[in-house]
C-alpha cells in the first residue's frame, strides 16, 4: 500500500524529531506549538477525492490503474466505513519558530 500517509505530511508529528531536524540544519527551535482546529467535510467521498487527487496518493494510484476508477472505489470504501453524511474531525499542525544557531535571529 502507498506509504505517503505515514511519511509526509501526516507522519511528521513528533516535536522531538522536528527539534532534532532543526538542529541538524543549523537551527534552534524557539518554540514548537501544537495548533488544533476543527475540520468538516461534506462527505467521505469528498475526503477521498481530496486525498486521491490532491495529495501524493494520486501518483501511487496512477501506478496501480485508472485514477478515476480508483478514486471512485476509494470514495465508496470510505463512505461505507464513515457513512453518507458530513464528517467532522480535528486538524492538528505544529507551528515552529526557529533561529539560526550562528546569530540567534528568529526566522520563523
According to the 3-state scheme, what is the secondary structure of 8-32? Answer: CCCCCCCHHHHHHHHHHCCEEEEEE
CA pair distance 64, 108, nearest whole angstrom:
39
Q: In terms of pLDDT, which residue wins out, 5 or 66?
A: 66
Tell me what pLDDT residue 37 has.
96
Decide: 94 and 15 in contact? Cβ < 8 Å.
yes
Whether the per-residue pLDDT at 82 is higher than 90: the answer is yes
Cα–Cα distance list, 81 to 45, 53, 84, 87 (Å): 11, 20, 9, 12
Q: Encode pLDDT of 23-75 as tens digits.
A: 999 999 999 999 999 999 999 999 999 989 988 889 888 999 999 999 999 99
> Torsions phi, psi of 65, nearest 5?
155, -165
Amino acid at each position: 500500500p502507498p506509504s505517503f500517509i505515514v511519511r509526509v505530511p501526516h507522519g511528521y508529528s513528533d516535536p522531538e524529531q522536528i527539534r532534532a531536524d532543526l538542529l541538524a540544519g543549523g537551527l534552534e527551535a524557539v518554540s514548537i506549538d501544537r495548533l488544533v482546529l476543527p475540520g468538516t467535510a461534506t462527505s467521505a467521498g469528498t475526503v477521498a477525492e481530496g486525498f486521491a487527487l490532491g495529495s501524493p496518493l494520486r501518483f501511487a494510484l496512477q501506478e496501480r490503474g485508472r485514477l478515476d476508477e480508483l478514486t471512485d472505489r476509494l470514495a465508496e470504501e470510505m463512505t461505507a466505513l464513515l457513512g453518507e453524511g458530513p464528517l467532522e474531525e480535528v486538524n492538528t499542525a505544529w507551528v515552529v519558530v526557529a533561529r539560526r544557531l550562528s546569530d540567534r535571529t528568529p526566522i520563523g
